[in-house]
Amino acid sequence: MYLSSLISEEKKTPRGIPIDDIETVPAEELLPRHFRHGYPTVKMITRRYAGNLTELPNDITYADLCDAVLSLPDGKALVIHQMPFWDKSQVFRSPKKVVGSIRLNTPQRFRRLGKEMNLNTSSMSINQAKQSQILPYTVIENATLDFEEDYRGIGWWGPTKHMHRTVFWDALVEGFKYYELFGDRIKLRHQNIDPSYTAESLSRAEREYEITLHPVPSTLEDGWFFIEWLDMRGKCGCEDSSFREKGATRKPESVSERWHEYHKYTGGEVIFCRHLVAMYKEAVEYSRSHKDAKNILLDPFPEPTGILNPWWTLKNRVIVVDERDGKKYRRVLDKTELDVLLGRTTAYDGLDRMWLYPEPDPALNAYLQRSAGK
Ligand SMILES: [Zn+2]
C-alpha cells in the first residue's frame, strides 16, 4: 500500500523526523489520526508538548530554522520569533481614488500576490509550449530553489489567455491527503471533457463544494496536450478562492508606482485549492480504471513525500512569538507563513526529497517516446 511505503521511505530520510508513534501504530491508522485540516490553538500545542518546548533565538538564520524544522525530535515543539518576512509590511498612502491607506506585503497580501516557483513565463506562446513539450515534472526536476527567497507555491501561465495559476504548498499536501484519506467524500457528478465532482468540506459540517475542471489534459493529437494542462482552470467555492487575484479591467494611462503590485496578474488568477487537487487525483484514478471515462494523461500535481513532516511540524508543533506595539503574544503560524516556510524548507532540503512525481499515463509515455525518436 502506498501510505506504508511512504512511511518507510520517510524513515530512511536522514534529516527527516519519524512521525510520532510510528513504531506502534499501523500506517493506515496513523495518517487519518494525524490529518487535521484545521490549525491547533497555542493552548493545544502547549498542553501536548508541556516541558518540551524549544525556543529558538530571535536572530536565527533561515538555514538554521529549516534545519530545526527538519530535525525536530519526536515529542518536541518549537517556539520561534517573527522572521524578517513578517515585518516587511509597509503602510503607504494609496492613489487618490482609493480611500485610506493600504498595507502591502502583509501575510494576506503575500498570499495573494507573493512569488511562486513558476514553471514557465507569461510570454510562452502556444507554439513554444508544444515545441518545448513542457511538462511539470521535467521542469521541476531541473529546478533549484533559493531558500533565502519566499515562494508560496508552484505557478504557471496558460499560453492561450496568459492567465496565471497558483497552487500553494499546503494545498498540494492537504489535497493529496484529502484524496488518500477521505476520497469517498469526493463524489463524481460527471467525467467527460470537463470533470465535475462535489467534495465535502472538512471544516464545515454538511457543507459541500461543487468543483469542476476544464480542460483536462487528454488530447495527444498534435501536441495539444501540452497546452491543455497549462490552460487548466478549476472552480471551487472554498475559502482559498478568496485569495484569487481578480483581473484588471483596463490599464489606466498613467499608473501609480504601486499599480503593478495591485494587479500582478492582469488576466486574473486561478487558485487550485486542496479540493481541486484532491478531485484531480480522483479524476485521474477514475479515468484510468473506467473505460467510459475521458482519459487524463497527466497529473500536474506532485505527491508529497519528504514535505509531510515539515508540513506537520510547522502546522502543529510551532508557536510564534509575535511582538506588536510593545506587547508580546503567542500564536500559531498562519497559512501564508506556513507556505513560505514550506517553500524555504523545500529549497533547503531539495525539491527531489520533498515531492514525488506520479507515473504519467502509459499513452503519454508512448507518445513522448515516439516524438523523441523522430
Ligand atoms: Zn476548495
Q: What is the pLDDT of residues 225-243, one digit of tens each?
A: 999 999 998 888 887 776 6
Centroid of ligand 1 to alpha carbon of 275 (angstroms): 4
The 10 Å Cβ neighbour count of residue 127 is: 11
346 inside domain: no
179-202 residue pLDDT tens: 988 888 888 887 766 777 888 777
User: Picking from 124-128, 309-313, 362-366, which range would have the lowest pLDDT averaged per residue?
Assistant: 362-366
Q: Is residue 89 over pLDDT 70?
A: no
Centroid of ligand 1 to alpha carbon of 175 (angstroms): 9
Centroid of ligand 1 to alpha carbon of 115 (angstroms): 21
Q: What's the total number of domains in the chain?
A: 2
Centroid of ligand 1 to alpha carbon of 224 (angstroms): 27
Same domain, 73 and 164: no
Model-level pTM? Answer: 0.82
- pLDDT at res. 23: 42
- pLDDT at res. 175: 92
Same domain, 364 and 256: yes
Same domain, 285 and 320: no
Same domain, 269 and 297: yes
H helices, E strands: number in the chain: 15, 16
Same domain, 147 and 249: yes
Same domain, 119 and 219: yes
352 inside domain: no
Same domain, 258 and 194: yes
Centroid of ligand 1 to alpha carbon of 279 (angstroms): 10
- pLDDT at res. 1: 30
Centroid of ligand 1 to alpha carbon of 257 (angstroms): 34
Residues at Cβ < 5 Å from ligand 1 ion = 236, 238, 273, 275
131-179 residue pLDDT tens: 999 999 888 888 888 888 888 899 999 999 888 999 999 999 999 998 9
Same domain, 244 and 321: no
- pLDDT at res. 6: 37
**Percent of the chain surpassing pLDDT 70:** 73
Q: When comparing pLDDT for 129 and 242, which is higher?
A: 129
Q: When comparing pLDDT for 147 and 66, which is higher?
A: 66
* Residue 234 domain boundaries: 114-301+357-373
Centroid of ligand 1 to alpha carbon of 239 (angstroms): 7
Centroid of ligand 1 to alpha carbon of 170 (angstroms): 12
Grid coordinates given for 180: 488518500
Centroid of ligand 1 to alpha carbon of 81 (angstroms): 31
Centroid of ligand 1 to alpha carbon of 271 (angstroms): 9
Same domain, 267 and 361: yes
DSSP string, 51-113: T-EEEPPTT--HHHHHHHHHHPPTT-EEEEEPPGGGG--EEEEPPTTS-SEEEESSHHHHHHH
